[in-house]
Structure 1
Amino acid sequence: MKLNKSFYLSDNVLDVAKCLLGKRLCVIACGELKSGIIVETEAYSYKEKACHAYNFKNTKRTATLFENGGVAYVYLCYGIHKLFNIVTNVKGIPEGVLIRAVEPTEGIALKKKITSGPGKLTKAMGITLQHNQMDLTGDKIWIEDINHQPEIEASKRIGVDYAGEDAELLWRFTSKNNHWISK
Protein backbone atom coordinates (compact mmCIF):
# COMPACT_ATOMS: atom_id res chain seq x y z
CA MET A 1 0.00 0.00 0.00
CA LYS A 2 1.33 3.43 -1.01
CA LEU A 3 2.20 5.78 1.86
CA ASN A 4 -0.23 8.69 2.11
CA LYS A 5 0.61 12.36 2.45
CA SER A 6 0.09 12.43 6.23
CA PHE A 7 3.08 10.07 6.72
CA TYR A 8 5.42 12.71 5.29
CA LEU A 9 3.92 15.66 7.19
CA SER A 10 5.31 14.46 10.53
CA ASP A 11 7.14 17.08 12.56
CA ASN A 12 9.73 14.50 13.68
CA VAL A 13 12.22 13.88 10.87
CA LEU A 14 14.06 11.28 12.97
CA ASP A 15 10.92 9.18 13.31
CA VAL A 16 10.26 9.40 9.57
CA ALA A 17 13.86 8.36 8.80
CA LYS A 18 13.48 5.30 11.04
CA CYS A 19 9.98 4.43 9.80
CA LEU A 20 11.15 4.48 6.17
CA LEU A 21 13.39 1.47 6.85
CA GLY A 22 11.63 -1.64 5.58
CA LYS A 23 9.40 0.31 3.18
CA ARG A 24 9.65 -0.25 -0.59
CA LEU A 25 10.80 2.58 -2.88
CA CYS A 26 9.22 2.26 -6.34
CA VAL A 27 10.13 4.13 -9.53
CA ILE A 28 8.84 3.86 -13.07
CA ALA A 29 11.94 4.36 -15.24
CA CYS A 30 11.88 3.88 -19.02
CA GLY A 31 8.46 2.25 -18.70
CA GLU A 32 9.71 -0.36 -16.22
CA LEU A 33 9.03 -0.72 -12.51
CA LYS A 34 12.16 -0.67 -10.38
CA SER A 35 11.91 -1.18 -6.64
CA GLY A 36 13.92 -1.83 -3.53
CA ILE A 37 13.48 -2.11 0.22
CA ILE A 38 14.88 0.94 2.01
CA VAL A 39 17.71 -0.23 4.29
CA GLU A 40 19.60 3.00 5.05
CA THR A 41 18.50 6.60 5.67
CA GLU A 42 19.85 9.86 7.06
CA ALA A 43 17.79 12.63 8.65
CA TYR A 44 18.41 16.35 8.03
CA SER A 45 16.85 19.37 9.75
CA TYR A 46 17.19 23.12 9.37
CA LYS A 47 18.31 23.08 13.04
CA GLU A 48 21.68 21.46 12.26
CA LYS A 49 24.62 22.44 10.08
CA ALA A 50 24.67 19.39 7.79
CA CYS A 51 21.29 20.35 6.29
CA HIS A 52 21.32 22.30 3.02
CA ALA A 53 18.64 24.57 4.50
CA TYR A 54 20.39 25.08 7.84
CA ASN A 55 19.05 28.12 9.67
CA PHE A 56 16.30 28.46 7.01
CA LYS A 57 18.73 29.03 4.11
CA ASN A 58 16.35 29.21 1.14
CA THR A 59 18.06 29.15 -2.26
CA LYS A 60 17.16 27.86 -5.72
CA ARG A 61 18.77 24.53 -4.78
CA THR A 62 17.06 24.20 -1.38
CA ALA A 63 13.61 25.53 -2.36
CA THR A 64 12.16 22.01 -2.58
CA LEU A 65 12.97 21.38 1.10
CA PHE A 66 10.58 24.20 2.01
CA GLU A 67 7.60 22.46 0.36
CA ASN A 68 5.00 20.32 2.15
CA GLY A 69 6.31 16.88 3.04
CA GLY A 70 5.76 14.14 0.52
CA VAL A 71 7.78 15.38 -2.42
CA ALA A 72 11.13 14.24 -3.80
CA TYR A 73 14.19 16.43 -3.30
CA VAL A 74 16.78 15.34 -5.87
CA TYR A 75 19.99 17.31 -6.24
CA LEU A 76 23.40 16.97 -7.84
CA CYS A 77 26.29 16.19 -5.47
CA TYR A 78 29.86 17.03 -6.52
CA GLY A 79 28.52 17.67 -10.04
CA ILE A 80 28.24 13.90 -10.56
CA HIS A 81 25.81 12.03 -8.31
CA LYS A 82 22.08 12.61 -8.11
CA LEU A 83 20.87 12.09 -4.54
CA PHE A 84 17.27 11.28 -3.62
CA ASN A 85 15.71 12.74 -0.48
CA ILE A 86 12.19 12.81 0.89
CA VAL A 87 10.85 16.15 2.10
CA THR A 88 9.14 15.92 5.49
CA ASN A 89 7.21 18.25 7.78
CA VAL A 90 4.93 21.10 6.65
CA LYS A 91 5.52 23.87 4.13
CA GLY A 92 8.13 26.32 5.38
CA ILE A 93 9.90 23.88 7.74
CA PRO A 94 12.83 22.46 5.73
CA GLU A 95 13.54 18.90 6.75
CA GLY A 96 14.18 15.73 4.82
CA VAL A 97 15.49 12.20 4.71
CA LEU A 98 18.26 11.05 2.39
CA ILE A 99 17.75 7.53 1.10
CA ARG A 100 21.26 6.03 1.19
CA ALA A 101 20.64 2.40 0.22
CA VAL A 102 17.99 -0.07 -0.87
CA GLU A 103 17.87 -3.83 -1.20
CA PRO A 104 16.77 -4.48 -4.83
CA THR A 105 13.46 -6.30 -5.30
CA GLU A 106 12.37 -5.66 -8.89
CA GLY A 107 13.87 -4.39 -12.15
CA ILE A 108 17.39 -3.99 -10.72
CA ALA A 109 20.28 -6.39 -11.23
CA LEU A 110 21.09 -8.20 -8.00
CA LYS A 111 24.79 -7.38 -8.21
CA LYS A 112 26.32 -6.79 -4.82
CA LYS A 113 26.64 -3.11 -3.90
CA ILE A 114 24.71 -1.82 -6.95
CA THR A 115 22.36 0.14 -4.66
CA SER A 116 24.56 0.50 -1.55
CA GLY A 117 25.09 4.24 -1.61
CA PRO A 118 22.93 7.23 -2.48
CA GLY A 119 24.54 7.91 -5.87
CA LYS A 120 24.54 4.25 -6.87
CA LEU A 121 20.92 3.69 -5.92
CA THR A 122 19.63 6.63 -7.98
CA LYS A 123 21.59 5.42 -11.00
CA ALA A 124 20.34 1.83 -10.62
CA MET A 125 16.74 2.94 -10.11
CA GLY A 126 16.68 5.59 -12.84
CA ILE A 127 16.08 8.51 -10.47
CA THR A 128 17.11 11.76 -12.16
CA LEU A 129 16.94 15.50 -11.53
CA GLN A 130 13.55 15.40 -13.29
CA HIS A 131 12.20 13.63 -10.20
CA ASN A 132 12.91 16.72 -8.07
CA GLN A 133 9.65 18.10 -6.62
CA MET A 134 7.62 15.07 -7.75
CA ASP A 135 4.73 14.08 -5.51
CA LEU A 136 5.53 10.82 -3.73
CA THR A 137 1.86 9.84 -3.77
CA GLY A 138 1.82 9.91 -7.59
CA ASP A 139 2.49 7.20 -10.16
CA LYS A 140 6.14 7.86 -11.15
CA ILE A 141 7.92 7.55 -7.82
CA TRP A 142 6.39 6.41 -4.52
CA ILE A 143 6.96 4.44 -1.34
CA GLU A 144 4.93 1.44 -0.22
CA ASP A 145 4.34 0.04 3.23
CA ILE A 146 4.96 -3.71 3.02
CA ASN A 147 4.45 -4.36 6.74
CA HIS A 148 8.13 -4.97 7.46
CA GLN A 149 9.97 -3.22 10.29
CA PRO A 150 13.60 -4.27 10.67
CA GLU A 151 15.75 -3.92 13.76
CA ILE A 152 17.34 -0.47 13.52
CA GLU A 153 20.88 0.70 14.25
CA ALA A 154 21.79 4.39 14.61
CA SER A 155 25.16 5.91 13.75
CA LYS A 156 26.81 9.13 12.55
CA ARG A 157 25.93 10.38 9.07
CA ILE A 158 28.44 9.93 6.29
CA GLY A 159 30.35 12.79 4.64
CA VAL A 160 29.20 15.63 6.90
CA ASP A 161 32.41 16.35 8.81
CA TYR A 162 32.07 20.03 7.80
CA ALA A 163 29.06 20.28 10.18
CA GLY A 164 31.24 20.40 13.30
CA GLU A 165 29.48 19.05 16.39
CA ASP A 166 26.38 18.28 14.29
CA ALA A 167 28.44 15.68 12.42
CA GLU A 168 28.37 13.66 15.64
CA LEU A 169 24.57 13.32 15.67
CA LEU A 170 23.40 9.71 15.39
CA TRP A 171 21.01 10.51 12.54
CA ARG A 172 21.96 7.70 10.14
CA PHE A 173 19.68 4.68 10.43
CA THR A 174 20.28 1.23 8.99
CA SER A 175 18.53 -2.12 8.94
CA LYS A 176 20.68 -4.19 11.28
CA ASN A 177 23.00 -6.70 9.53
CA ASN A 178 21.70 -5.88 6.03
CA HIS A 179 24.49 -6.39 3.49
CA TRP A 180 23.07 -3.76 1.09
CA ILE A 181 23.90 -0.77 3.33
CA SER A 182 26.77 1.52 2.31
CA LYS A 183 30.14 1.18 3.97
Structure 2
Amino acid sequence: MTIDFTDTADLVAPQLLGCLVTHNGVTVRLTEVEAYLGKDDPAAHTYKGPTARNAAMFGPPGRFYVYFSYGIHHNGNIVCAPEGTGQGCLLRGGEVVAGEDLARQRRQRPERALIPHENLARGPGNLGQALGLQLSDNGTPVQLTAREAEPEWVRGTRIGITKNADAPLRFWVPGDRTVSTPRGRR
Protein backbone atom coordinates (compact mmCIF):
# COMPACT_ATOMS: atom_id res chain seq x y z
CA MET A 1 0.00 0.00 0.00
CA THR A 2 1.28 3.43 -0.90
CA ILE A 3 -0.18 6.53 0.71
CA ASP A 4 -0.79 9.48 -1.59
CA PHE A 5 0.14 12.39 0.67
CA THR A 6 -1.29 14.83 -1.88
CA ASP A 7 -4.76 13.67 -0.75
CA THR A 8 -6.51 15.75 1.90
CA ALA A 9 -5.57 15.09 5.53
CA ASP A 10 -8.94 13.52 6.36
CA LEU A 11 -8.34 10.89 3.65
CA VAL A 12 -4.71 10.29 4.58
CA ALA A 13 -5.28 10.01 8.35
CA PRO A 14 -6.97 6.59 8.50
CA GLN A 15 -4.42 5.21 6.05
CA LEU A 16 -1.65 6.04 8.55
CA LEU A 17 -3.10 3.73 11.22
CA GLY A 18 -0.91 0.64 11.49
CA CYS A 19 1.95 2.22 9.53
CA LEU A 20 5.43 2.45 11.03
CA VAL A 21 7.19 5.79 11.49
CA THR A 22 10.95 5.56 12.04
CA HIS A 23 12.94 8.54 13.25
CA ASN A 24 16.19 8.97 15.17
CA GLY A 25 16.55 5.27 15.99
CA VAL A 26 12.98 4.58 17.13
CA THR A 27 10.08 3.02 15.24
CA VAL A 28 6.45 3.58 16.26
CA ARG A 29 3.38 1.78 14.91
CA LEU A 30 0.72 4.49 14.62
CA THR A 31 -2.56 3.86 16.46
CA GLU A 32 -4.02 7.37 16.64
CA VAL A 33 -3.91 10.45 14.39
CA GLU A 34 -5.87 13.66 13.86
CA ALA A 35 -6.49 15.47 10.58
CA TYR A 36 -6.14 19.25 10.27
CA LEU A 37 -7.64 20.82 7.16
CA GLY A 38 -5.88 24.16 6.73
CA LYS A 39 -7.94 27.21 5.83
CA ASP A 40 -11.17 25.25 6.30
CA ASP A 41 -10.34 24.24 9.89
CA PRO A 42 -10.16 26.86 12.69
CA ALA A 43 -8.16 24.39 14.84
CA ALA A 44 -5.37 24.10 12.24
CA HIS A 45 -2.14 26.06 12.79
CA THR A 46 -2.50 27.04 9.13
CA TYR A 47 -6.05 28.41 9.35
CA LYS A 48 -4.92 32.02 8.95
CA GLY A 49 -2.25 31.30 6.35
CA PRO A 50 1.52 30.83 6.29
CA THR A 51 3.78 32.09 9.08
CA ALA A 52 7.41 31.44 9.97
CA ARG A 53 6.23 28.86 12.54
CA ASN A 54 3.94 26.85 10.25
CA ALA A 55 5.83 27.21 6.95
CA ALA A 56 6.64 23.48 6.78
CA MET A 57 2.89 22.70 6.63
CA PHE A 58 2.70 24.58 3.32
CA GLY A 59 5.67 22.68 1.90
CA PRO A 60 5.82 19.37 0.08
CA PRO A 61 3.54 16.61 1.38
CA GLY A 62 5.00 13.57 3.15
CA ARG A 63 7.29 15.68 5.34
CA PHE A 64 7.32 16.57 9.01
CA TYR A 65 5.81 19.67 10.54
CA VAL A 66 7.10 19.86 14.12
CA TYR A 67 5.98 22.46 16.63
CA PHE A 68 6.74 23.19 20.27
CA SER A 69 3.60 22.67 22.37
CA TYR A 70 3.00 24.22 25.80
CA GLY A 71 6.71 24.95 26.07
CA ILE A 72 7.55 21.30 26.79
CA HIS A 73 6.70 18.96 23.88
CA HIS A 74 7.69 18.68 20.23
CA ASN A 75 4.61 17.40 18.42
CA GLY A 76 4.85 15.93 14.94
CA ASN A 77 2.55 16.11 11.94
CA ILE A 78 2.83 14.67 8.46
CA VAL A 79 2.12 17.30 5.81
CA CYS A 80 -0.72 16.34 3.44
CA ALA A 81 -2.56 17.73 0.43
CA PRO A 82 -0.94 19.60 -2.45
CA GLU A 83 1.95 21.93 -1.62
CA GLY A 84 0.67 25.32 -0.47
CA THR A 85 -2.50 23.87 1.09
CA GLY A 86 -1.43 23.75 4.75
CA GLN A 87 -2.98 20.43 5.79
CA GLY A 88 -1.52 17.70 7.96
CA CYS A 89 -2.04 14.76 10.28
CA LEU A 90 -1.02 15.07 13.91
CA LEU A 91 0.69 11.92 15.18
CA ARG A 92 -1.27 11.38 18.42
CA GLY A 93 -0.30 7.91 19.59
CA GLY A 94 1.44 4.66 18.82
CA GLU A 95 3.36 1.66 20.04
CA VAL A 96 7.15 1.64 20.12
CA VAL A 97 8.10 -1.46 18.12
CA ALA A 98 11.85 -0.84 17.72
CA GLY A 99 14.32 1.23 19.69
CA GLU A 100 12.48 0.90 23.00
CA ASP A 101 15.65 1.46 25.04
CA LEU A 102 16.28 4.75 23.23
CA ALA A 103 12.63 5.82 23.51
CA ARG A 104 12.70 5.01 27.22
CA GLN A 105 15.95 6.96 27.64
CA ARG A 106 14.26 10.00 26.07
CA ARG A 107 11.09 9.63 28.14
CA GLN A 108 12.06 8.12 31.49
CA ARG A 109 12.97 10.34 34.43
CA PRO A 110 14.97 8.80 37.31
CA GLU A 111 12.56 10.13 39.94
CA ARG A 112 9.50 8.56 38.29
CA ALA A 113 8.17 5.03 38.28
CA LEU A 114 8.95 2.94 35.20
CA ILE A 115 6.81 4.11 32.27
CA PRO A 116 4.66 1.22 31.01
CA HIS A 117 5.44 0.14 27.44
CA GLU A 118 1.99 1.23 26.20
CA ASN A 119 2.59 4.78 27.49
CA LEU A 120 5.95 5.39 25.79
CA ALA A 121 4.33 6.98 22.71
CA ARG A 122 0.77 7.55 23.95
CA GLY A 123 -0.17 11.17 23.37
CA PRO A 124 1.37 13.55 20.82
CA GLY A 125 4.01 14.98 23.16
CA ASN A 126 5.13 11.55 24.34
CA LEU A 127 5.24 10.23 20.78
CA GLY A 128 7.33 13.22 19.68
CA GLN A 129 9.69 12.73 22.61
CA ALA A 130 10.02 8.98 21.95
CA LEU A 131 10.92 9.72 18.31
CA GLY A 132 13.32 12.48 19.36
CA LEU A 133 11.53 15.11 17.26
CA GLN A 134 13.03 18.62 17.20
CA LEU A 135 12.13 21.85 15.42
CA SER A 136 15.08 21.17 13.12
CA ASP A 137 13.06 18.22 11.72
CA ASN A 138 10.59 20.65 10.11
CA GLY A 139 10.31 19.94 6.41
CA THR A 140 12.34 16.72 6.50
CA PRO A 141 10.92 13.63 4.77
CA VAL A 142 9.03 11.18 6.96
CA GLN A 143 10.32 7.61 6.93
CA LEU A 144 7.11 5.59 6.79
CA THR A 145 6.71 1.85 6.31
CA ALA A 146 3.36 0.72 4.97
CA ARG A 147 1.16 -1.39 7.20
CA GLU A 148 0.82 -5.09 6.52
CA ALA A 149 -2.97 -4.98 6.77
CA GLU A 150 -5.57 -2.33 7.46
CA PRO A 151 -6.50 -2.39 11.15
CA GLU A 152 -10.01 -1.88 12.40
CA TRP A 153 -10.39 1.84 13.08
CA VAL A 154 -12.93 4.36 14.25
CA ARG A 155 -13.44 8.05 13.71
CA GLY A 156 -14.54 10.62 16.25
CA THR A 157 -14.09 14.13 17.54
CA ARG A 158 -10.68 15.54 18.32
CA ILE A 159 -9.49 15.96 21.89
CA GLY A 160 -7.33 18.53 23.64
CA ILE A 161 -8.46 21.50 21.53
CA THR A 162 -11.15 24.15 21.82
CA LYS A 163 -11.63 25.32 18.21
CA ASN A 164 -13.59 23.05 15.86
CA ALA A 165 -13.41 20.34 18.57
CA ASP A 166 -16.60 18.64 17.35
CA ALA A 167 -15.18 17.88 13.91
CA PRO A 168 -14.90 14.08 13.48
CA LEU A 169 -11.25 14.24 12.44
CA ARG A 170 -9.62 11.96 15.03
CA PHE A 171 -8.91 8.40 13.90
CA TRP A 172 -7.78 5.52 16.14
CA VAL A 173 -7.54 1.78 16.57
CA PRO A 174 -10.29 0.85 19.05
CA GLY A 175 -9.23 -0.96 22.20
CA ASP A 176 -5.52 -0.27 21.65
CA ARG A 177 -3.91 0.73 24.96
CA THR A 178 -1.56 3.17 23.20
CA VAL A 179 -4.48 5.40 22.19
CA SER A 180 -5.00 8.61 24.19
CA THR A 181 -7.87 8.87 26.59
CA PRO A 182 -10.74 9.27 26.27
CA ARG A 183 -10.55 6.29 23.94
CA GLY A 184 -14.26 5.97 23.23
CA ARG A 185 -15.16 9.59 22.49
CA ARG A 186 -16.93 9.77 19.17
Match in the other structure for 2:12: 16
How many equivalent residue pairs?
166
Which residue identity lines up with residue 53 of structure 1 in the other structure? T
Deviation at 1:37, TM superposition (A): 0.7
5+ unaligned residues in a row in structure 1: which ranges? 137-141
1:125 aligns with 2:131: yes
1:7 corresponding residue in structure 2: 4
Deviations 1:131-156 (A, max 9, x none): 111022xxxxx110032211111111
| Larger deviation, residues 103-112 vs 73-82 | 103-112
CA distance in 1, matches of 2:63, 2:147: 20
Aligned-residue Cα RMSD (Å) equals: 1.6
> 1:16 is paired with a residue of what secondary structure?
helix
Contact 1:150–1:176 at 8 Å: present in 2 too?
no
* 1:24 to partner: Cα distance: 0.5
Q: Within 2, Cα distance between the matches of 1:52 and 1:112?
A: 29
Give the aligned partner of residue 160 of structure 1.
Answer: 161
Where does residue 139 of structure 1 map in the other structure? none
1:99 corresponds in structure 2 to: 91
How high is the sequence identity, in percent, across the aligned residues? Answer: 31
Partner of 1:42: 34
Structure 2: unaligned runs, 5 residues or longer: 105-115, 182-186
What is the DSSP-based 3-state SS (H/G/I as helix, E as strand, rest coil) of the residue aligned with 2:149? coil
Once the two structures are overlaid, the 10-residue window that deviates more, 108-117 or 166-175, is 108-117
TM-score, scaled to structure 1: 0.85
Larger proportion of strand: 1
Q: Which runs of 4+ in 1 moved over 6 A?
A: none
Q: How does 1:125-144 map to 2 (within 5 A)?
A: 125-136=131-142, 142-144=143-145
Which segment drifts farther, 123-132 or 90-99?
Answer: 123-132
SS in 1 for 2:45: coil
